[in-house]
Structure 1
Amino acid sequence: MNQYPSGQSTGQRRGGLRLWVLLLFAGYAAWYWFSNRSIDPLTGQAVVIDKSISPEQEKSLGLQAYQQVLQQEKPLPADAEASKQVQAIAERLIGKIPQVTDSLAAEHHLQASHIEKSFDWAVTVLQSDQVNAFCLPGGKIAVYTGLLPVAQNADAMAVVMGHEIAHALLRHGAQRMTRGKLEQLGQMAGAASGMDSGTLQTVMSAYGYGSALPYARSQETQADELGLMLAASACFDPQQAIPLWQRMDQSSGGRAPSEFASTHPSAGTRIHQLEALMPKAEAYKAKLCGGAQAASGMH
């Protein structure tokens, strides 16, 4: 004779089914994570990039995004003074990528993959008040005119552009796409297990603050380091990174979100980390600069 009321027995069966659903999803997520895990030679850290996402696919997506931006924004003519200055900075940074990435990989006893060999580099200055720049997978670089007065000089601009180029070299886009797949898997597991939408939203919010946002901030820190080494190796002054980020903080007018709720480190954290990297940047400059002189300034 069943000692439980029928309703309670049904509830237990449903609870057991939900648990099995969650376990199956968790098992698949763990397999997916481990099977796509590797060590990034430039950082020495474990990364997860879906093996089905090739650099060529990233490059194609980057080109599509770049074309969309050019349709929406107004590019400066290539012969404009700002365009020529930004182009010259980009060429110097790009020219140092092989040496810098080889040196960083050697620090971790690994070999650089040199995905930049497949990049089709292009540099555009966009007429906009945005204080921003980007480098898409495949090497499409854009600098907004709103960044020029904040950067003030070629050294600071090289720090920003080096940072953006670093994101592409480190395949941060592919890493975020992979993480997005895992997040979707988690949402599917929650929904399939019968988790109500309010609880699922709470869980995903906690995941964001506890994992996703710190992960995004760590990517920014990685790009800061690689970008600074690129700028220094291309004979720009890495010390200009400090006043740059002080000006970037001022330009936000106090509107930047707290670090805890942001995908980026705070300006204070960034400055502290960059200061700690200065001896390494100066060493890279001494080893790889080769005597070229920095451009006089930005206007």
Structure 2
Amino acid sequence: MDGSKMSAAVLYFLLASPLLLAAGSPVHESSNGTVPLVLWHGMGDSCCNPLSMGAIKKMIEEEIPGIYVLSLMIGKNVIEDTENGFFMDVNEQVSMVCSQLAQDPKLKGGYNAMGFSQGAQFLRAVAQRCPSPPMKTLISVGGQHQGVYGLPKCPGESSHICDMIRKALNNGAYTDMVQKHLVQAQYWHDPFNDDLYKKHSLFLADINQERVVNETYKKNLQLLDKFVMVRFLQDTVVDPVVTEWFGFLKTGQAKETETLQDSVLYKEDRLGLAAMDKAGKLVFLASEGDHLQFSREWFNSNLLPYLR
């Protein structure tokens, strides 16, 4: 895989594009002193696809000999894992993962975490809700931390699943039925209906502290040593792409965007991100290419240092 582009796009998976992203290194020391790593895949992918997360896990293990890498499976098998990325309540998924991590003796000393696309914001919820075992560094690879308003290339017009998702979101993203049974609705952020979003979003509005400030969430997130966010400069999948750096569209329209630093979340420091930024804990990285596409060389140079 050296020198070649690794396509880990969760959304591209349904188009049969190979997913070759994933892996990191956790923070509980293994027998050789490495920190364990927990991976969470994106939409349409699974924990163990040999062309995506499986390849990333293998690559990390090659680069950091002896590291313990746990690639999360949400369900009893790969099929369930993939389906749950579309249809299982995100809050239930996060609860399942918290329980799994707490019961893993190899993680009791702490771990690093790396999430791909939607898996990134799900792992952030783990950091905010479940501080034991401790997450040390969170690496978000194309994560949508202020949600999305659109599903371009999801993965394409020929996809029955994506067509169904689009219709459901357009017809009522914030109805109880859609919120509870469609994962993407739980991080759908409609700038034209901000009040509906804040009131009815079951997942994103909660972890982004948009209703009330949960001081425990805020405290737990600030326990991270580093929060690394990767943005793909040619991303045609995530809309708006600034969400990968925790930015979003300005309220009431769908053209102008604002950075994290210009947002109310930052100015009021509802998540503790302003304090983390001042402490040098936030890292903003950019990669050329489309969603979840990067070279092994780029990965080794930019992300591995946070895992060693």
- TM-score when scaled to structure 2? 0.30
- TM-score when scaled to structure 1? 0.30
Select the structure that is richer in helix: 1
Structure with the greater alpha carbon radius of gyration: 1
